[in-house]
Structure 1
Amino acid sequence: MFRIGELARQYQIKADTLRYYEKNGLLAPSERSASGYRLYSHADAVKLRFILKAKAVGFSLAEIQELLTIEANRSQWACQDVKGMVESKVAQLEVKMAELTRFRDSLQELADACCGGPESAENCSILDALEVRQ
């Protein structure tokens, strides 16, 4: 059994993160020691490692909860279900990356059009481009 601080240190996270995962159903409610400390089993540590790996590749906590459900009942799911989740996540990331590329290009265009000199911003091309005209 691991006390909350021990498990948190082992995975380089805060104890509050473990409490949050427990509160939101990602980890089962922990046992308590005689002195009231949360205690986690080896199985909890394995599940935490799964959660952290899934989070590290970009899954949301809701998506991780779904993956945990699949993990707990593997025989009732097909590989295509899991692959579908991953492919959906890839598609979401591609949309986000395209959006970020557009933002970067627009900002670079604004920066390139500006002289960037020490003079007054009275005629600043960036402010002019962003100005709301009524």
Structure 2
Amino acid sequence: MKIGELARQTGCQVETIRYYEREGLLPEPARSSSNYRVYGAAHVERLTFIRHCRALDMALGEIRELLALRDHPERDCAAVNELIDEHIGHVEARLVQLASLRDALLDLRARCRGEAETGACGILRELALPAEEQDSGELPPPVQHIGGSHSH
């Protein structure tokens, strides 16, 4: 099958498939006589696996490790559990960051009742102040996307 068909079967964008190929997550496909990429059932299966991992917000490095473990079924699955446990830790850290972000936003929202002109808006005034002058103290650090917040 061609890349468009692989994209349709897996619900994955063509550019994403090419990216996964460049990253080494998908094996290089065979080429037809007219030099089109030719994908098979193994590509569909592997891309489905990758998409499930991405739906769990795993980083590419984590996916690469899981694929390596999957490609060697004789290995001990304790390594899979360790990787998932580590990812759970990243998710828990992200939840703490998100709770802090929510609290900061709630505090910010409380500064304006929406009954005045924007020139008198407490939210806009607070956002313009240097951190040391803000009534609420320092805002929480920026929350990063889970997939980009840890390395592997």
Q: How does the TM-score come out when normalised to structure 2?
A: 0.78
Higher relative contact order (CA 8 A, sep 6+): 2
Q: Percent identity?
A: 36
Q: CA deviation at 1:49?
A: 1.2
What is the aligned residue count?
131
The letter of the residue matching 1:67 is: L
Q: Tell me which residue corresponds to 1:21.
A: 20
Q: Tell me which residue corresponds to 2:42.
A: 43
Q: How does the TM-score come out when normalised to structure 1?
A: 0.87
The structure with the larger Rg is 1
Over aligned residue pairs, what C-alpha RMSD do you find? Answer: 1.8
Q: Tell me which residue corresponds to 1:60.
A: 59
Q: Distance in 2 between matches of 1:38 and 1:22?
A: 11
Residues 1:120 and 1:128: Cα distance change in structure 2 (over 3 Å): closer
1:129 paired residue among 119, 126, 130: 126
The SS at the match of 2:110 is helix
Q: Distance in 2 between matches of 1:120 and 1:68?
A: 53
Structure 2 unaligned regions, length at least 5: 134-152
Does the CA contact (< 8 Å) of 2:26 and 2:43 recur in 1?
yes
